[in-house]
């Protein structure tokens, strides 16, 4: 859920949707978008990140936001959510049917979580 919160703050950096502006970039928070950017960037993009992340300078913040945009953070987030869901589902499906609690309990929780993230995706990616 923390990754979702980090992603929501990235999408709503100015606070127009949530009423709370994000300072993750300015304070240099180890957030999901920051980690994901470092995992997917090339050498030139990494240099931009290192020179600008953790600064209160509006121009530096804009450079990081552009970097996130160039890396297509919404797509990376969707891929991350799908990967996590599939990993958890494989683990649940590997449980014995007579386990306590039953695999069905975990499937219901997982599907509830998936519907929650799918609802958020429709809101942010529409």
Average pLDDT value for the chain: 83
Instruction: Give the confidence band of 84 by pLDDT, cuts at 50, 70, 90.
Output: confident
23-39 pLDDT, tens per residue? 888 999 999 999 999 99
Count Cβ atoms within 10 A of the Cβ of residue 88 and give its class: 0-12 exposed, 13-18 middle, 19 or more buried: middle
Burial 30-46 (b: 16+ CB within 10 A, else e): ebbbbebbeeebeeeee
Distance CA 53, CA 49 (A): 5
Q: Kindly give the residue spans of alpha helices, DSSP state H, lying in 71-102.
A: 73-93
Domain boundaries, the chain: 2-71, 74-125
């Amino acid at each position: 859920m923390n990754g979702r919160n980090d992603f929501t703050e990235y999408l709503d950096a100015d606070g127009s949707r949530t009423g709370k502006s994000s300072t993750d970039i300015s304070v240099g928070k180890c957030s999901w978008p920051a980690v994901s950017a470092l995992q997917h960037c090339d050498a030139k993009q990494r240099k931009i990140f290192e020179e600008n992340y953790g600064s209160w300078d509006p121009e530096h913040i804009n450079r990081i936001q552009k970097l996130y945009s160039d890396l297509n953070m919404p797509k990376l987030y969707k891929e991350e959510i799908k990967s996590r869901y599939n990993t958890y589902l494989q683990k649940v499906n590997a449980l014995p049917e007579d386990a306590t609690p039953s695999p069905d309990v975990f499937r219901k929780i997982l599907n509830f979580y998936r519907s929650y993230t799918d609802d958020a995706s429709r809101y942010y990616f529409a």
